[in-house]
DNA sequence: GTCCGTTGGTCTGATAGCGTACCGACGTTG
DNA sequence: CAACGTCGGTACGCTATCAGACCAACGGAC
């Protein structure tokens, strides 16, 4: 396992980590499959492992006591979990799970904590925490003021940023949870985007057809938190 | 100015700061009035000062390119700004300004950075950043799934937590911005709460009449992020 | 090939909240 | 006390979205 080379890694945070920090944790990084639904962190439980995805998309969801839920952020190879540990919080109240299958590296929490003693490594990950928090803020804004179709477009763009091709494997049901709307509303909104030739939609699959037109469509909803990520961390795509 | 005693301070974060850190910054703390509307931090600008409110309420607002806006969090003597600096991010994209007038301590950013070299002090403030981020997440959830009157109740409770008496000085106009709804919707929702004898409402003023009934009313919307704050930092009220 | 679970499409009626406009009440200023 | 700006209350029509139900199409399992 000690044979992981930094330049073969695709996770942005691992790549940007100071060389000494990376070399210290590299022997402990475990390459793992992350099938759809894999739980990376459970609400209010101290996670045993940190995850740095290489591919796929994870979703961060907040739940209310009565079981209402809404997505507050996503990450793929641009991010990691748990940021709670980076911020000395041990756990957070979210469910974090894979939404689009992928692979990644897993690290024992203790090893992460050791690495965080290095200030440069810590700063990288606190900056990422900030970027994620900003993503949540703009999700909140979007939930409050934008229409379903714009939010859907925003969401597809965010997934597209974290995916290699133009195909994103997702069901309407899943999307409806992510956007906190009814499932039939997703169907309708997808039809609208498809009618404008921005995407193709197949069973269990969304295919981006015209990314820049999609950005135009999502206009006011997309872009701010991506700019912030690039300022704090580096290129997103 | 070097005469500020730790036990006369009411800001929770200053109180919980390690003694050495507090004594290092104390000579640089400047007691300031914070009238309504005072801007504590402007979007994408590196703030020159940190603020630790002693009273009053500050609001954190995200704006979209087209000028839509929504509140993502509030703080009073339970918090501080800028958390961006704590997280090595220099600036954040939010507007942060006083919403209910108060007082507080101001500290030059450079002094804050010096204090953050102490790991215990840094950890306290990163935990606060986490608490604030969680507050944003639950605001997002609430925006997505709760009705206006519940969100209003939640919001009044959050302000009440950060206020000394039962009176909160706010206009409907202001509230409508905070909740990202129409101003008349606020009027209607306030009438509903008033009809249930949970609050009194006067021109420019909301008075909490029956806090625990208000909590019952807000049920699913209120409580989670407060619990998280208490776990990470300490008692909120 | 048949079956059944999953996924997607569509309908009907209900409603929460919006946009806009208008007006009255308050209260501060001069 | 006169005047004007701020603030709150109300009304009307509109529409995005919801709630719930139902059925068709697909596709893996046997």
Architecture of domain B147-232: Orthogonal Bundle (1.10)
Do residues B135 and B233 lie in contact, with contact meaning Cβ atoms separated by under 8 Å? Answer: no
Whole-number pLDDT of residue A6? 82
**3-class DSSP assignment, residue B88:** coil
pLDDT band at A145 (very low <50, low <70, confident <90, very high): very high
Nearest CA among A167, A166, A163, A156 for reference residue A204:
A167
| 2-61 in chain B: CB under 8 A from chain A | none
B191 touches strand D (CB under 7 A): yes
CA distance B185 to B182: 5
Other beta carbons within 10 Å of A213 = 16
What residues does CATH 1.10.10.10 cover in chain A? 146-232
pLDDT band at A5 (very low <50, low <70, confident <90, very high): confident
What average pLDDT does chain A have? 94
Share of chain A above pLDDT 90, in %: 92
Mean pLDDT (whole number) for B140-157 = 96
Whole-number pLDDT of residue B43? 96
| 121-180 in chain B: CB under 8 A from chain A | 123, 126-127, 129-130, 132-134, 136-141, 143-146, 180
* Gap from B41 CA to chain A (nearest CA, Å): 15
Cβ contact (<8 Å) for A139 and B140?
Answer: yes
Cβ contact (<8 Å) for B137 and A94?
Answer: yes
CA distance B66 to B42: 17
pTM of the model: 0.94
Cβ contact (<8 Å) for B92 and A130?
Answer: yes
Tens digit of each residue's pLDDT (9 = 90 or more) over B194-236: 999 999 999 989 999 999 999 999 989 999 999 999 999 999 9
Tens digit of each residue's pLDDT (9 = 90 or more) over B7-26: 899 999 999 999 999 999 99
- Cβ-count burial B63-88 (b if 16+ within 10 Å, e if not): bbeeebbbbbbbbbbbbbbbbbbbbb
pLDDT band at B118 (very low <50, low <70, confident <90, very high): very high
Whole-number pLDDT of residue B112? 97
Contact A185/B at CB under 8 A:
no
Whole-number pLDDT of residue A155? 96
The CATH number of A146-232 is 1.10.10.10
What residues does CATH 2.60.120.10 cover in chain A? 6-141
Tens digit of each residue's pLDDT (9 = 90 or more) over B61-86: 999 999 899 999 999 999 999 999 99
Tens digit of each residue's pLDDT (9 = 90 or more) over B156-204: 999 999 999 999 999 999 999 999 999 999 999 999 999 999 999 999 8
Tens digit of each residue's pLDDT (9 = 90 or more) over A88-141: 999 999 999 999 999 999 999 999 999 999 999 999 999 999 999 999 999 999
Tens digit of each residue's pLDDT (9 = 90 or more) over A147-164: 999 999 999 999 999 999
Check whether B5 has a pLDDT greater than 90.
Answer: no
Q: Output phi, psi for B210, to 5 deg.
A: -145, 90
Residue B146: partners with Cβ closer than 8 Å, 6 or more residues away: A68, B154, B220, B221
Homologous superfamily (CATH) for A6-141: Jelly Rolls (2.60.120.10)
B184 touches strand D (CB under 7 A): yes
CA distances from A130 to A33, A69, A106, A175, B132 (A): 27, 22, 22, 25, 11
pLDDT band at A217 (very low <50, low <70, confident <90, very high): very high
Share of chain A above pLDDT 70, in %: 99
CA distance A130 to A113: 18
What residues does CATH 1.10.10.10 cover in chain B? 147-232
CA of A184 to C1' of C12 (A): 14
């Amino acid at each position: 396992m000690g044979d992981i080379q930094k330049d073969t890694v695709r996770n942005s945070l691992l790549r940007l980590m100071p060389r000494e920090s990376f070399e210290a944790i590299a022997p402990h990084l475990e390459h793992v499959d992350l099938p759809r639904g894999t739980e990376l962190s459970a609400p209010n439980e101290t996670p045993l492992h940190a995850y740095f995805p290489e591919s796929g998309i994870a979703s961060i969801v907040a739940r209310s006591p009565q079981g209402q839920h809404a997505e507050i952020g996503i990450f793929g190879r641009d991010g990691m979990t748990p940021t709670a540990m980076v911020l000395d919080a041990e756990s957070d109240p979210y469910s974090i799970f894979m939404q689009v299958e992928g692979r990644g590296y897993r690290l024992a929490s203790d090893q992460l904590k050791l690495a965080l003693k290095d200030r440069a490594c810590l700063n990288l990950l606190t900056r990422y925490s900030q970027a994620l928090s900003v993503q949540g803020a703009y999700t909140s804004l979007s939930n409050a003021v934008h229409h379903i179709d714009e939010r859907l477009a925003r969401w597809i763009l965010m997934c597209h940023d974290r995916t290699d091709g133009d195909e994103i494997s997702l069901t309407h049901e899943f999307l409806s949870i992510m956007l906190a709307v009814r499932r039939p509303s997703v169907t309708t909104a997808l039809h609208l985007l498809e009618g404008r030739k921005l995407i193709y939609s197949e069973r269990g699959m969304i295919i981006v057809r015209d990314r820049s037109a999609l950005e135009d469509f999502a206009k006011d909803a997309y872009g701010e938190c991506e700019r912030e990520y690039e300022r704090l961390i580096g290129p997103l795509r």
